[in-house]
Amino acid sequence: MIRKGRLFTPGPTQLLPTAQLAMAAATMHHRTAEFRALYTRVLADLKTFVGTKNDVVMFTASGTGAMESAVSNLTSPGDKVLVVTAGKFGERWEGLAKAYGCEVESIRAAYGHTVTPQQVREKLKPEHRVLYMQGTESSTGVRHDVEGMARVLRGSHTLLVVDAITGLGTTHFDVDGWGIDVIIGGSQKSVMIPPGLAYSAVSDHAWQRMETAKNPRYYFDLRKERKNGAKGESAYTPSTALVAALAAALDYVREQGGGDLADGRELLINNAETAAAMTRAAAKALGLKLFSVDSPGAALTAIAPPAGVDSSDIVKAFRNHFGAVIANGQGEMKGQLFRIAHLGYYDYLDTIAAIGALEQVLAEMGQRVELGAGLKAAQEVYAQSSEQVAVAR
Amino acid sequence: MIRKGRLFTPGPTQLLPTAQLAMAAATMHHRTAEFRALYTRVLADLKTFVGTKNDVVMFTASGTGAMESAVSNLTSPGDKVLVVTAGKFGERWEGLAKAYGCEVESIRAAYGHTVTPQQVREKLKPEHRVLYMQGTESSTGVRHDVEGMARVLRGSHTLLVVDAITGLGTTHFDVDGWGIDVIIGGSQKSVMIPPGLAYSAVSDHAWQRMETAKNPRYYFDLRKERKNGAKGESAYTPSTALVAALAAALDYVREQGGGDLADGRELLINNAETAAAMTRAAAKALGLKLFSVDSPGAALTAIAPPAGVDSSDIVKAFRNHFGAVIANGQGEMKGQLFRIAHLGYYDYLDTIAAIGALEQVLAEMGQRVELGAGLKAAQEVYAQSSEQVAVAR
């Protein structure tokens, strides 16, 4: 059969067609009133999307660029920092903090698990300048307890920095209420456009810290971007096409929320939650083990392959048979899990289609799979969730 | 959940993204060497796609325009013509022929059924100038026996005109071998682009008939288009953007055929056949009755709603719940069947998704449906068909 190229990966994710069109049509110069108006609107919309009163800055970079800015702008060489790590992206915080000369103390959980606030409470010392963590760990699908960590940090001088690159749009964050000092998002995630833009919402505490932080920064200088952003500009040449795409995507989210962008974000989160619940139910019905049992997030579902099967073969079969791309495990986890994304532009039909393809792939690999069993379980979850919606109305 | 706009209708069908891009990018003027090269290539590719040595002409019009040309160019007022009719599109032939003053003799089958070659043999008289029929009747999903009809007509002076608007790319036609005098296609069908172009392959017999046919024609003048087409032009301003899209779509079909457009067309037909077989199996497993039992085509599957259910409600629920558009019955058949398309750009995941949505819709309507049952049946059909492919290799 025809094989359409489809992304079920936790970034890049499926693109929003109206955003693709806006991207293709954008021809503006970035030092013009036209672009300033667009950029100003996008920064304001991102504040609403993130759900904060804090200023938002944007970089033309992938998410790691914004992560780097949260290290280089907030620390000085020799600073002690805490890192919550339970996967490849937690390890990225460790690598970044070390690259900038920080003394890193890690609070670690095994892949597939999460760190408890209690563990942080036990480790936290007044000299810890920053706690770095993920909202959701994209390499394992785990959702961390950001609210719990924030509670532990309350009253301390330790800044809370959350990589929410796959968390935003899939997880509820009360950024200002909990006191998240820096929260980071990326364009190729729940906002449904290609990679190339990263954004951060930064608290007053964090802006103050930058006054004394000594680490070098130039392109990723948050204060410079904030100053330019206030004029509707970026410090360096921005990816104008992606900014246009992002504006269109945020318009779509607002539309989904009946004209309210914050409501649209909540619907987007519920959408990912429903798709994730459908996928988890399907995996269980097929006798597959979820890679994350205690705290699975809605950004993606990580699933362990059947005993004796390398997940690389499942990923390969998905692509070869159906042109659909799912994600393998990263690093040492390669071969041991596969990941199906739910963040952003996925609907019921996509979710059913991915589960149907998974069953077919496993059956073709000779696994004992009852065709339709996972689908049925997913459909039942959907039926229940839509009944709840009907009742709520 | 998010509801993506999806078309499961037998035209317009899902669009091919590369064709959409080509359409958006096309800015050429139609009286230029650039356009002439493109138009020449498209006409040549259409010959291969149709599978004929006959000249192909194209109109900027929907399929009905090309149907009209096959009446106005081939008949004179008072001519006796035969029409094979078993649905709304058969009835369109009757309407067209009458509008041009022909004396119409219809060979009719009930909706959902087909006419046999034997019936035609019994009716055919030497004075019948043309037999008009469909390859597939899009209003009921029925595939007519074009080969059988052609055999009946062999040696007669009755021209065979086949509306293959949903037949091309879903049905095997040996145009020259069987002796189809005019075969008609449209852009919004298996060639995966929006409506607005129609094309016809015309035999020598038909060209000769035009010498004496007296009915008036101007915009739909086949000979004028043939003459202009030989120079890489159309007689009147063509839809340049759609021509660019069609070129890209035919390139895609060729690519699918490993560089051979005719092979690509065969794969496209097999693709529709597989999707149709999956959908029929699903319908049966769900206890639904196929609207066409004796001769279901691969362009679409027409399914009767459960007893006591108006198919309009199923169509509405599909759109409301999932943003997906399936087709209702047309005319008197409205409410009595719904149609799910397979022609063109549909893959395994689309097919599974549509079936999953159908189950969910029926369950939500309170029908006794075993969730997953249709899906499983469809998956089993797919597994068998892909095993056959594996064995054939």
> A9-52: per-residue pLDDT in tens?
999 999 999 999 999 999 999 999 999 999 999 999 999 999 99
Residue of A nearest to B273 (CA): A1
**Which chain B residues have a beta carbon less than 8 Å from that of A4?**
345, 347, 349-350
Size of chain A in residues: 393
pLDDT for res B393: 43
Residues 6+ apart with CB under 8 A from B169: B49, B185, B189, B190, B191, B265, B268, B269, B272, B343, B344
| Residue contact A364–B372, C-beta within 8 A | no
Work out the average pLDDT over A228-236: 96
Please determine, for residue A344, whether its predicted confidence score (pLDDT) is greater than 70: yes
pLDDT for res B388: 61
Give the span between the Cα atoms of A163 and A166, in whole angstroms: 8
Distances (CA, A) of B153 to B15, B147, B149, B161, B165: 37, 10, 6, 11, 21
Instruction: Report the amino acid identity of residue A210.
Output: M
Q: Which 3-state string (H, E, C) describes B315-376?
A: HHHHHHHHCEECEECCHHHCCCCEEEECCCCCEHHHHHHHHHHHHHHHHHCCCCCCCCHHHH
* Terminal-residue alpha carbon distance, chain A: 41
Chain A nearest C-alpha distance from B391 (Å): 13
Give the span between the Cα atoms of B79 and B69, in whole angstroms: 15
Residue of A nearest to B356 (CA): A352
Which of B279, B368, B375 best tests the A interface by mutation, with the highest count of A CBs <10 A?
A: B375
Chain A nearest C-alpha distance from B99 (Å): 41
Residues 6+ apart with CB under 8 A from A273: A170, A298
Chain B nearest C-alpha distance from A179 (Å): 30
| β-pair partners for B186 | B198
Measure CB to CB from residue A383 to each of B346, B350, B363 and give the nearest one: B363
- State what percent of residues in chain A have pLDDT above 90: 96
Chain B nearest C-alpha distance from A18 (Å): 12
Work out the average pLDDT over A228-239: 96
Three-state DSSP class for residue A366: coil
Sheet strand arrangement including B182-186: B55-60, B197-202, B182-186, B159-163, B128-134, B80-85, B103-108
**Which chain B residues have a beta carbon less than 8 Å from that of A376?**
370-373, 375
Three-state DSSP class for residue A185: strand
Chain A nearest C-alpha distance from B89 (Å): 28
Give the span between the Cα atoms of A150 and A295, in whole angstroms: 18
Buried b (16+ CB within 10 A) or exposed e, A294-308: ebbbbbbbbbbbbee
Give the span between the Cα atoms of A313 and A361, in whole angstroms: 9
| β-pair partners for A159 | A130
| Residue contact B360–A382, C-beta within 8 A | yes
Is-contact B318 B357, C-beta < 8 A? Answer: yes
Q: What is the pTM of this model?
A: 0.92
Q: What are the residues of chain B with a beta carbon less than 8 Å away from any beta carbon of chain A?
A: 1-4, 6, 21, 24, 256, 268, 270-271, 274-275, 321-324, 345-350, 352-354, 356-357, 359-360, 363-364, 370-373, 375-377, 379-380, 382-383, 386
Give the span between the Cα atoms of B386 and A80, in whole angstroms: 58
Q: What are phi and psi of A192, to 5 degrees?
A: 65, 25
Indicate the DSSP class of residue A367.
Answer: -
How many pairs of residues across A and B have Cβ atoms under 8 Å apart?
138
Residue of A nearest to B350 (CA): A353
Measure CB to CB from residue B348 to each of A24, A322, A345 and give the nearest one: A322
| Residue contact A357–B348, C-beta within 8 A | yes
Residue of A nearest to B270 (CA): A1
Tokens at A181, concatenated? 């000092």
Size of chain B in residues: 393
| Residue contact B379–A357, C-beta within 8 A | no
Is-contact A389 A292, C-beta < 8 A? Answer: no
Measure CB to CB from residue A356 to each of B6, B268, B352 and give the nearest one: B352
Give the span between the Cα atoms of B374 and B355, in whole angstroms: 7
pLDDT along chain B (393 residues), means of 10: 95 95 92 96 98 98 96 98 98 98 98 98 98 98 98 97 98 98 97 97 98 97 98 95 97 97 97 98 98 94 97 97 96 97 97 98 95 98 79 48
Tokens at A218, concatenated? 């130039």
Q: Are strands B338-341 and B300-303 parallel, antiparallel or unpaired?
A: antiparallel
Indicate the DSSP class of residue A53.
Answer: S
pLDDT for res B223: 98
Q: A388: pLDDT confidence band, cut at 50, 70 and 90?
A: low
Hey, CA dihedral for A258, A262, A263, A269, is it positive or negative?
Answer: positive
pLDDT for res B229: 97
Domains of chain B plus CATH, in order, are 6-12+259-392 (3.90.1150.10), 17-256 (3.40.640.10)
**Which chain A residues have a beta carbon less than 8 Å from that of B363?**
379, 383
**Which chain A residues have a beta carbon less than 8 Å from that of B275?**
1
Q: Within its chain, how far is the Cα of A392 from the centroid?
A: 28
Please determine, for residue A106, whether its predicted confidence score (pLDDT) is greater than 50: yes
Residue of B nearest to A360 (CA): B379
Residues 6+ apart with CB under 8 A from A217: A69, A72, A73
Please determine, for residue A391, whether its predicted confidence score (pLDDT) is greater than 70: no
Instruction: Report the amino acid identity of residue B2.
Output: I
